[in-house]
Amino acid sequence: MRHFAVVGSGPAGFYTAEALEKAYGDKARIDILDRYPVPYGLIRFGVAPDHQSLKAVSKRYDKVAESAGVDFIGNVNVGGDVSVAELLDLYDAVILATGAPHDRKLGIPGEDLPGVVGSAEFVGWYNGHPDFADLDPPLDGTHAAVIGNGNVALDCARILSKTRHEFEGSDIVAHALDALDNSAIRTITILGRRGPHQIAMTPKELGELGHLEAAVPIVEPSDFPPVEADEPLEPGLRKSVTLLRGFAEIDANKPKRMIFDFFAKPLAIEGDGKAEKIVVERTELDDKGAARGTGETYEVPATLIVTAIGYSSSPIPDVPFEGGKFVNEAGRISDRLYSVGWARRGPTGTIGTNRPDGYEVADQIAATMPLGSGGNRQGAEGLKRLLEERRIMPTDYDDWRKIEETETANARPGSPREKFVRVQHWMDALGR
Ligand code: NAP
């Protein structure tokens, strides 16, 4: 019997486990570990609460977790409670699927002022991530800004603009729903350091902005090149740019404005003990398409500033790490140690991108460890013994089911669940 440990229970972890299960059938046991007592990583803590159809992919992961060869072992911090070297001793292969949970920094003065929050923190706050339950972002000013032109920037801006009514059917946590309902924010500026042709926003996500109850998206037509210039764009991007252009035609009187400010590079964040404004430099594109400052500066008022400029992974002791991810070659880090998903590639692509990624690494493992060969490691049995010695209380898939039932029962009308936002509350739900 082969034993595999997949570290991380987000999309990359689940697709890898699914692929290993398909490759080995009943000749392998696959344990999906997570530092939290509950599974799904990005699906639970990252995907926007008003995007329930995307979150529904967890049903597919449930099937994987329920299959005979796969177990979920939660509440185990790899690199803390147990080392990678110990896992490699217990398992035939270890696959790091730990995602990219940390915010990249802008590297500009004033970035650490109160009122400046990274998108991982802000998203974690409204999605019930236990590390950010107490973030309490300042929503008492009238102006907010989101820095970045990707889908995460759109998520953050959209969530800031929505009404309580628009959150019906979502699983936004109660503390965020109440705070946002009382928010004074009326202007949300989305800052992109390059132009409309360089956005990383996809059409579906952008299209939603045209139909918000209380907010209207605003663009400056002079930021756009002539419409013929859209012709050579890749179809998805062309569609996004067409949607953006269309925002100039919207003539609606709504209380909130979402302003797209292109060619706007943040130079500094200023304020008296807390963020009050961003000093921005107007940019133009150089011949390689990069943003080049023009020397012209101006100020954007904002007492809440969300930076949504990409993520990096968490290093783990003794695992080579560079540029925000594990050093790997096609997923392989070293003998019997692999990485998949954002921990392997960096924070790009959709949830579905992780499927071929996980299957590719599983194929590599299957090629080096053929069915029926070797395999006399202890796997979960040894791991659980080690955890018991260290007084770590792991959770399993049945425990998650109990937590899920309680979260479902606690849901406000129309919502799928009311998430627990503290690790202890998860454990309380299990009577531990
Ligand atoms: P992203 O797509 O890489 O976008 C990052 C943005 O930040 C880019 O516009 C980038 O501009 C900008 N940026 C980077 N460094 C900057 C700096 N120093 N100053 C100003 N701007 C800076 O990353 P993301 O939005 O975090 O999304 C991560 C991945 O998750 C993406 O693949 C995304 O599509 C996916 N996602 C999908 C959905 C969905 O499908 N609904 C939702 C959320 C996220 P430059 O281009 O100039 O570098």
Nearest ligand 1 atom, CA 106: 18
- CA 108, CA 105: separation in Å to the nearest integer? 8
Structure tokens at 139: 């929503």
* CB 348 near ligand 1, within 6 Å: yes
Residue with CA closest to ligand 1 atom 40: 350
Ligand 1 centroid, distance to 308 Cα (angstroms):
7
Contact 323, 345 (CB under 8 A): no
- CA 258, CA 216: separation in Å to the nearest integer? 6
> Does residue 372 have a pLDDT over 80?
no
Predicted local confidence at residue 105, as pLDDT:
96
264-273, 274-283, 370-379: segment of lowest average pLDDT? 370-379
> Does residue 376 have a pLDDT over 90?
no
For the chain, what is the radius of gyration of the CA atoms?
23
* CB 152 near ligand 1, within 6 Å: yes
**Segment 3-22 mean pLDDT:** 98
Q: What per-residue string of b and e applies to 59-98 under the rule 16 or more CB within 10 Å gives b?
A: eebbebbeeebbbbbbbbebbebbebeebbebbbbbbbbb
- CA 143, CA 18: separation in Å to the nearest integer? 45
Predicted local confidence at residue 52, as pLDDT:
96
Percentage of the chain beyond pLDDT 70 is 100
Predicted local confidence at residue 369, as pLDDT:
93
**Segment 114-138 mean pLDDT:** 98
- Nearest-CA neighbor of 50 among 171, 224, 231? 171
Predicted local confidence at residue 290, as pLDDT:
97
Phi first, then psi: give them for residue 87, nearest 5 degrees.
-65, -40
* CB 44 near ligand 1, within 6 Å: no
Best residue among 152, 154, 278, 351 to mutate for probing ligand 1, ranked by most atoms within 8 Å of CB: 152
Q: What is the pLDDT of residues 40-97, one digit of tens each?
A: 999 999 999 999 999 999 999 999 999 999 999 999 999 999 999 999 999 999 999 9
> Does residue 375 have a pLDDT over 80?
no
Predicted local confidence at residue 146, as pLDDT:
98
Predicted local confidence at residue 370, as pLDDT:
85
Q: What is the pLDDT of residues 216-253, one digit of tens each?
A: 999 999 999 999 999 999 999 999 999 999 999 998 89
- CA 386, CA 380: separation in Å to the nearest integer? 10
- Nearest-CA neighbor of 148 among 343, 305, 322, 341? 305
* CB 309 near ligand 1, within 6 Å: yes
* CB 142 near ligand 1, within 6 Å: no
* CB 346 near ligand 1, within 6 Å: no
The residue type found at 409 is: A
